[in-house]
């Protein structure tokens, strides 16, 4: 497994760290990513209370929210959103947490992200909006949620998908 590197400019702006301090800080941030991945809400809460940036991202641009949502961790996702995580922050592949949830099929997390303002029509690159992703992977329940929150008229291809999916 590749060790994630933290974009340290997010963490210590305006001061210099020794190599040892830098290593400890990186280890702490890696621990935060693991907490998000594995729904360790108590530890994540402690880290955030101590001042960890709620929008911390790794070398791939994945935020704590992206990792929590993509791994199906409702409680961690909710905590991060309540603490002000950017709901539509894209990673280096131009994906949002909502698009990842549409791919994985986590209905409850999709609804939570939408309640916090996630864009159901946002451009995820190559035409893969969350709406298109839900159509492509046949996520009927998520598609119904996206339609409730969407303020944009579906495209012809989306409407055709709705017909075949019986949405």
State pLDDT tens for residues 35-81.
999 999 999 999 999 999 999 999 999 999 999 999 999 999 999 99
Handedness of CA 112, 65, 146, 75 (dihedral sign): negative
pTM recorded for the entire structure: 0.84
**Cβ 34 vs Cβ 88: under 8 Å:** no
Question: Residue written as tokens 């641009």?
Answer: 61
In order of their start, the domains of the chain are 20-164 (1.25.40.20)
Q: 91, 62 in Cβ contact below 8 A?
A: yes
Tell me the average pLDDT across 8-30. Answer: 77
For 14: left if phi > 0, alpha if psi spans -120 to 50, otherwise beta; the answer is left
């Amino acid at each position: 497994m590749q060790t994630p590197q933290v974009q340290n400019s997010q963490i210590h702006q305006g001061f210099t760290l020794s190599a040892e301090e830098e290593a400890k800080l990186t280890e702490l941030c890696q621990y935060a990513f693991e907490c998000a991945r594995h729904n360790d809400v108590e530890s994540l809460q402690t880290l955030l209370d101590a001042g960890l940036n709620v929008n911390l991202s790794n070398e791939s641009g994945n935020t704590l929210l992206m990792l929590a949502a993509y791994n199906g961790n409702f409680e961690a996702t909710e905590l991060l959103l309540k603490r002000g995580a950017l709901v539509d922050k894209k990673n280096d592949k131009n994906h949002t947490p909502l698009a990842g949830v549409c791919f994985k099929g986590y209905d409850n997390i999709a609804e939570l992200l939408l309640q916090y303002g996630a864009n159901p029509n946002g451009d995820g690159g190559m035409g893969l909006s969350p709406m298109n992703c839900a159509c492509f992977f046949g996520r009927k329940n998520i598609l119904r949620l996206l339609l409730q929150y969407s303020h944009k008229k579906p495209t012809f291809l989306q409407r055709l998908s709705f017909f075949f999916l019986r949405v």
